[in-house]
Structure 1
């Protein structure tokens, strides 16, 4: 059993992080999950939340994501984020603008789409609160 795994965070624009990790906490669409080395292979969708990476050196890194996918296997975890925010001050500023855009889209949505859009806004607000 290996004690570490590779963690990569990528957005559509670029690779944001590449770390050796002992565990990764992921905001899965079906619930939070903690991934450790030798995890069974799985692909899961993400909801807005924090990805928390425990480094092999004892450090912890946090990344805010607005959604995306995580691909997990025994040796690595790759998060493919729709949008990811790195750096506390920049993250809050950028994320607050993202929340306002999501609120506008939710206000314009109808029917089932409105429910989904409002849930997305609630998840984003929860994410901002978790970052404080």
Structure 2
């Protein structure tokens, strides 16, 4: 059986998850990464995507995250999300509202940098939408 480590998923609103886990898959900015016990110390930014957690008992939970960063140590991993929700609780309407808000932000962007940042976030959100909501 795989060795466990402490995993916490925190959003500005609340602590969503705090348990021993054997594996956590994180949508890092450099690509998806799997965190397990004794992982090398790492800090990474998080893209919008799905975080999959395998608890010590073998149960799997998934969360939609909308940016943030993860602090990984050999015996723990803390993911500080800009916003997060259990995947089962994410509605199609909520995701569509987030996408529309970013589209409006993109249209109102005053400079190239702001528009480019909004375009990237919109791309990440639509990819997330395609991955978790059936057509």
Shift of 1:58: 1.4
Shift of 1:87: 4.3
Distance 1:50 1:114 in 2: 25
Distance 1:38 1:121 in 2: 35
Give the structure-1-normalised TM-score.
Answer: 0.91
Distance 1:92 1:16 in 2: 20
Contact 1:64 1:91 in 2 (8 A): no
Mapped pair 1:115 → 2:116: yes
Mapped pair 1:20 → 2:20: yes
Please list every run of 5 or more consecutive structure 2 residues that lacks an aligned counterpart in the other structure: none
- 1:125–1:69 distance in 2 versus 1, CA, 3 Å: same
Distance 2:36 2:129 in 1: 26
Distance 2:44 2:91 in 1: 24
Name the count of aligned residue pairs.
Answer: 131
- Residue 37 of structure 1 aligns to a residue whose secondary structure is coil
Please report the RMSD computed on the Cα atoms of aligned residues, expressed in angstroms. 1.5
| Greater CA drift, 55-64 or 81-90 | 81-90
Please list every run of 5 or more consecutive structure 1 residues that lacks an aligned counterpart in the other structure: none
- 1:66–1:102 distance in 2 versus 1, CA, 3 Å: same
Contact 1:48 1:67 in 2 (8 A): yes
Mapped pair 1:131 → 2:132: yes
